[in-house]
């Protein structure tokens, strides 16, 4: 992630830079901070912040001789006591084999970008692991069979050609299909699901679209370059991203519904004595939440907001009434 754009950076990205920066600095004692900033595509202020963090890192113990020594007050960087991570990290055999299997599965995806680079990386890994890589050929990985190969290929084509696309997309929370124009930014796989990420002109923001929910995709003869300030999402915390203006909801969950706090992103969890919990979460659309409450029945109830609790109660009453008036039906107890 480019810190020069003043974009918040994930912990994973920063850790990756620090692990690369240490061996680089150890070989270039006295290098100017400005040169370090250019090498790692960050600001000088970010370099100083990274050095300050390294100064607090080291081997277990935390004593003076255990910590990395970093000095940069003169504008030049000097690093010491970091021999344990002097050499770049190397893959173990198991890690290399797992990476080989993953790259082979990725190579089978239609329309995947940078295929030549992928094939070169795979060849280098296979050559480095030698006979140990032979067993990996017997492992087959199927990635998201529900995704249309033709749809993904079209999305990749639009991405490479910088063309806008038109989607007919199913929004399961509202059980409706929507039409929208999207400037594609990347195609990614997360938790065994394929997503198209792009600037959605309907929402006026960056959005993720699951390929198995794309009902149709058409490449338009229009420039599909996203706005300059459109940034890919940080997926370290998952696909779902709540917003400050989303509605705040508090739910009381019984022991039989405690799984909800693990399955859905929450802001707070207060355990209850009966094995349940009171959870707080944010949502932009309460339709899915109402259906969840009806499905959970007596195991869950809405505490706040009051209007949502009333909607859930009214919907449950209407459902019971429908059962009671249907020919030959009986009203469920409770």
Beta strands 205-210 and 193-200 are: antiparallel
In terms of CATH architecture, what is 3-85?
Orthogonal Bundle (1.10)
Q: What is the DSSP letter of 114?
A: S
Ordered by start, the domain boundaries in the chain are 3-85, 93-138, 149-237, 247-325
Q: Which range has the top average pLDDT, 88-102, 154-168, 236-250? A: 154-168
Question: Which tens digit of pLDDT belongs to each residue from 93-135?
Answer: 677 777 777 777 666 665 555 567 777 777 777 777 766 666 6
Do the Cβ atoms of 105 and 98 come closer than 8 Å? no
Q: Is 282 exposed, middle or buried (0-12, 13-18, 19+ CB in 10 A)?
A: middle
Q: How far is CA 282 from CA 85, 118, 256, 259, in A?
A: 42, 39, 22, 17
Question: Which tens digit of pLDDT belongs to each residue from 45-71?
Answer: 899 988 888 767 765 555 555 677 888
Name the fold adopted by 149-237. SH3 type barrels. (2.30.30)
């Amino acid at each position: 992630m480019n810190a020069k754009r003043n974009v918040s950076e994930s912990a994973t990205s920063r850790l990756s830079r620090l692990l690369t920066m240490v061996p680089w600095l150890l070989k270039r004692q006295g290098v100017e901070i400005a040169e370090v900033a250019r090498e790692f595509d960050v600001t000088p202020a970010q370099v100083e912040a990274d050095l300050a963090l390294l100064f607090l890192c080291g081997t277990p113990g935390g004593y003076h001789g255990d910590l990395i020594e970093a000095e940069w007050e003169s504008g030049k960087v000097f690093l010491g006591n970091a021999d344990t991570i002097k050499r770049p990290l190397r893959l173990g055999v198991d890690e290399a084999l797992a990476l080989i299997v993953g790259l082979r599965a990725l190579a089978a995806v239609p329309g995947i970008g940078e295929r030549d680079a992928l094939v070169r990386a795979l060849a280098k890994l296979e050559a480095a692991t030698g006979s140990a890589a032979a067993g990996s050929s017997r492992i087959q990985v199927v990635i998201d069979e529900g995704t249309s190969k033709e749809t993904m290929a079209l999305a990749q084509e639009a991405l490479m050609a910088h063309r806008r696309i038109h989607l007919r997309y199913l929004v399961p929370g509202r059980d409706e299909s929507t039409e929208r124009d999207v400037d594609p930014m990347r195609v990614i796989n997360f938790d065994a699901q394929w997503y198209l990420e792009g600037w959605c002109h309907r929402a006026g923001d960056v959005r993720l679209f699951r390929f198995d929910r794309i009902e149709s995709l058409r490449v338009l003869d229009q420039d599909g370059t996203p706005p300059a300030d459109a940034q890919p999402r940080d997926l370290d915390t998952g696909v779902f991203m709540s917003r400050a203006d989303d509605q705040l909801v508090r739910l009381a969950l019984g022991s039989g519904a405690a799984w909800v706090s693990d399955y859905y992103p929450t802001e707070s969890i207060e355990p209850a004595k009966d094995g349940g919990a009171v959870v707080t979460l944010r949502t932009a659309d309460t339709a899915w939440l109402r259906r969840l409450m009806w499905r959970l029945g007596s195991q869950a109830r809405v505490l706040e907001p009051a209007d949502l609790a009333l909607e859930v109660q009214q919907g449950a009453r209407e459902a019971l009434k429908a059962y009671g008036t249907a020919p030959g039906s009986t009203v469920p107890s409770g």
